[in-house]
Amino acid sequence: MLLAFTQLGFSSILALVILGIILGMVAYSIYFERKIAGWVQDRYGPNRVGLPTLVGDLLPEKYGKFHFWGLGQPIADGLKFFLKEDIIPSHVDKPLFLIAPCVSLIVALIGFVVIPWGGQVAIFGQVFNVQVANPDIGLLYILGVGSMGVYGVVLGGWASNNKYSVYGAVRATAQMLSYEIPMGVAIMCVVLTCGQVRLEEIMASQVAGWNVWNLFYHPVAFIILWITMFAETNRTPFDLAECEQELVGGFHTEYSAMKFAMFFLAEYAHMITGCAFLAVLFCGGWDPIPFVRIPLFRPEDTGIIAMLAKMAVLFGKVAFFMFMYMWVRWTVPRFRFDQLMRVAWKGLIPASLGVLAVAIAGLYLGLHRTLWFTLPGNVAVVLVSLWVMSRAKDPVSGREANLPPLTRSPELGVQA
Amino acid sequence: MIRDEDIVRVEAPRISAADRLYLTQIAQGMKVTLNHLFFKPRMTVQYPEQKREMNTQNYRGVHRLNRDPDGRVACVACFMCQTACPAHCIHIVADESPWEDREKYPQLFDIDELRCIYCGMCEEACPVDAIELTYEYDVVGRSRDEMIFDKEKLLEVYDSTKDVKPRKNPKITGYQRTGDRGKYDQLRDRLREMTQQSNPISAPHQTVDGERAPAPENKENA
Ligand code: SF4
Ligand code: SF4
């Protein structure tokens, strides 16, 4: 009883609750992923497995069979994964093969602990942080843990002893290395703007004063971070590690049943943590509307209801970003590998360095928290990159460079 | 060999600077998918509840054995369908007909619906249009044996589908025993006369120099 009244006790309870929420969200993200895939392609998506199937069947005949929009699908999927035969091929490196999915899942599931889910809460006069852990280096922790995600992929690909899997793993590594750089630089802009690496302090600085979210100081940095999030989580258009057309299944080719499901869950858990991270860094975390103070959502509101409302807002933002993940996935085709590298090294890294320069200049001049300095700075970065783009040669790819020069045939009226 | 001057090389249009950032193009694509996400009609046919419209008259589904107007099985056990079937899935046991107007009738008539490829050859081969394919496609069985349809089952299929798809030639009936100069023989004689007279194009046995080749012996008449 006493234990529950320390921050440790509160954190433990919160960890369990949030873990439950995240696992539930993972299950239903998979459901919505399939739904959205269906809708984009003018289909219905899964709509057969009714949640309490019995209720659907007990309804009077005249209503027809009601399937509850297929909401039972995640349960059926989970059951399927548990009941399938779990094959360990004879040619794999067994210990690593078994460790890889665990590493993936564990790493994806410990990321959320430093996210400030709902400011502070006072229970019987005791004030707690609504945050499982509160290290000084919250931001670095989440960066480090996020990057560890690639270990599962690499281990799995290597242990599978299969060329395609190794290709997938190697691609994932190269991609991760390239996209960590613009990601880190974009985050640096936030750190410079807020002068903090503790996530809850970054949050606090966004809800102080005029409630200006970091998004408005550095929109370009926000977009860059968002793009690199797609790459970090191996999502389309950057899912080269598992692209089916070239690599069968990439790093998880040899995995089946629950071990495959663990990779799958890890991907979605990673996405959810990433979305929460993005929301906290740039979009004001649990603050519903920028530039306005709403009762219930001030830092000094520490009631339980305020905490729940704040958590709801943050999870709403997470849901929005998850939807964006899926929407993009079913819109944008996958990049080719050289395009992927070009986007990172010739696009995102210079642009992010530009934004960083703006942020540093702002800090030097003491204008790092003034919109009229940082916003034009960001616009200038965009304009400069447009100017460079318009002067750049068309990217040459594949055999184009080796073609002979164009022959001109005036008699055919061909303008070569 | 393609001559150099015949080669027209098309250059890709130059992409504007904004489009090279990808973001504008991606935004356009997202607009299209958003439209499909929420505002386009769904194309899926929700199968067991909804069914696609189909032509019931020429669909090649489960077989049926037709009945003649007296309600007897119309098949005369001639084995044409069994011979024509490329999948060898028809098995007939013929027996002497209990009725006056025909010689044989099928005592057993089994079709293995799992082996059938629904090609319709049996329907084409049947001289009395006794076997036909119906519009039924959703047959299920709990075992392989259940999917071997016997004569009774095939007649049942006829009873359940005849309202939607009536027998093609209900007139073919009143078969005669060979030797009787019934309607059937008269018809055959008239056909033969017609082909041998007048129309030289359809006369099958004419040679180039106008001489008439000897007509092949007709086994039925012998
Ligand atoms: S439909 Fe074709 S395969 Fe089927 S029974 Fe008739 S002839 Fe044989
Ligand atoms: S071809 Fe027609 S008449 Fe002959 S055996 Fe088959 S179904 Fe019967």
List, for residues B179-192, the tens digit of each pLDDT value: 555 666 677 677 77
Q: Is B30 a pocket residue for ligand 1 (Cβ < 6 Å)?
A: no
- In this structure, the strands spanning A126-129 and B90-96 are unpaired
The tally of domains found in chain A comes to 1
Which residue of B lies nearest to A45 if distances are taken between CA atoms? B44
Q: Is residue A104 part of a domain?
A: yes
What is the C-alpha to C-alpha distance for residues A325 and A233, in angstroms, rounded to an integer? 10
Instruction: With respect to residue A37, please indicate whether it lies within any of the assigned structural domains.
Output: no
The alpha carbon of residue A387 is apart from the nearest alpha carbon of chain B, in Å, by 7
- State the pTM of this model: 0.75
pLDDT the model gives residue A3: 55
Mutate to test the interface with A, among B14, B19, B20, B34 (most CBs of A within 10 A): B20
How does residue A133 score in pLDDT terms, banded at 50, 70 and 90? confident
For the ranges A330-334, A350-354, A355-359, B206-210, the lowest mean pLDDT is seen at B206-210
Mean of all residue pLDDT scores within chain B: 79
Interface of B with A in 21-50 (CB under 8 A): 21-23, 26, 29-30, 32-34, 36-38, 40-44, 46, 49
Q: Determine whether the interchain pair A387/B46 forms a contact, defined as Cβ–Cβ distance below 8 Å.
A: no
Note whether residue A2 is domain-resident: no
Contacts of A43 in chain B (CB under 8 A): 42-44
pLDDT at A201: 83
State the Cα torsion A196-A201-A203-A207 to the nearest 10°.
-110
**CATH of B63-161 given 3.30.70.100, 3.30.70.3270, 3.40.50.300, 3.40.50.1370:** 3.30.70.3270
Flag whether A1 is in a domain.
Answer: no
C-beta of residue A201 within 8 angstroms of C-beta of residue A135: no
Residue A241 belongs to some domain of the structure: yes
Nearest atom in ligand 2 to the alpha carbon of residue B76 is 3
Beta strand B148-149 with B104-112 is antiparallel
CA B168 to chain centre: 12
pLDDT at A91 exceeding the cut of 90: no
Q: How far does A40 lie from chain B, in Å, by closest CA?
A: 5
| Number of other residues whose CB lies within 10 A of the CB of residue B62 | 21
Report yes or no: A212 and A290 within 8 Å, Cβ to Cβ: yes
CB of A147 within 8 A of CB of A180? yes
Which residue in the block uniquely carries the two structure tokens 């619906």? B113
On whether residue A283 sits in a domain, the answer given is yes
CB proximity A401 to B under 8 Å: no
Judge: A327–B42 Cβ closer than 8 Å, yes or no. no
Q: Mean pLDDT over all residues of chain A? A: 82
> For residue A320, what pLDDT band results from cuts at 50, 70 and 90?
very high
Query: Between chain A and chain B, how many beta carbons pairs sit less than 8 Å apart?
Result: 66
Q: What's the 3-state SS for chain B?
A: CCCHHHCCCCCCCCCCHHHHCCHHHHHHHHHHHHHHHHHCCCCCCCCCCCCCCCCCCCCCCCEEECECCCCCECCCCCCHHHHHCCCCCEEEEEEECCCCCCCEEEEEEEEECCCCCCCCHHHHHCCCCCEEECCCCCCCCCCCHHHEECHHHHHHHHHHHCCCCCCCCCCCCCCCCCCCCCHHHHHHHHHHHHHHCCCCCCCCCECCCCCECCCCCCCCCC
* Residue B90 in contact with ligand 1 by CB distance below 6 A: yes
Sheet with B90-96: strands ordered across? B90-96, B104-112, B148-149
Residue among B110, B112, B119 to mutate when testing ligand 1 (max atoms within 8 A of CB) = B119
Q: Is 60 exceeded by the pLDDT of residue B222?
A: no
Higher pLDDT, A278 or A5: A278
Domain membership of residue A355 (yes or no) is no
The predicted model gives B125-147 an average pLDDT of 89
Q: Kindly report the nearest CA distance between residue A33 and chain B, in angstroms.
A: 12
pLDDT at B201: 47
Tokens of A416: 């070569």
Residues B87 and B118: their CA atoms lie apart, in Å, by 9
**In the prediction, which pLDDT does A346 show?**
85
Is residue A89 in some structural domain?
A: yes
Cα B116 to middle of ligand 1, angstroms: 5
Distance CA A272, CA B218 (A): 85
**Rounded Cα gap, residues B113 and B150, in angstroms:** 10
Residue A122 three-state SS: strand
User: pLDDT band at residue A182, thresholds of 50, 70 and 90?
Assistant: very high
Distance (Å) from CA B158 to ligand 2 centroid: 15
Poorest-confidence range of A262-271, A374-383, B15-24?
B15-24
| Nearest CA distance, B57 vs chain A (angstrom) | 30
Find out whether the beta carbon of B128 lies less than 6 Å from any atom of ligand 2. yes
Residue A137 has what pLDDT?
83
Average pLDDT over residues A386-406: 69
User: Domain range spanning residue A159?
Assistant: 84-347
Q: Is the pLDDT of residue A288 over 50?
A: yes
Give the number of whichever ligand sits closest to the CA of residue B175. Answer: 2
Taking the mean position of all CA atoms in its chain, how far away is CA B214?
37
B189, B191, B194, B199 alpha-carbon torsion, rounded to 10°: -150
Under 8 Å between Cβ of B96 and B106: no
**With 60 as the cut, is the pLDDT of residue B208 above it?**
no
For chain B, where do the domains classified as CATH 3.30.70.3270 start and end?
63-161
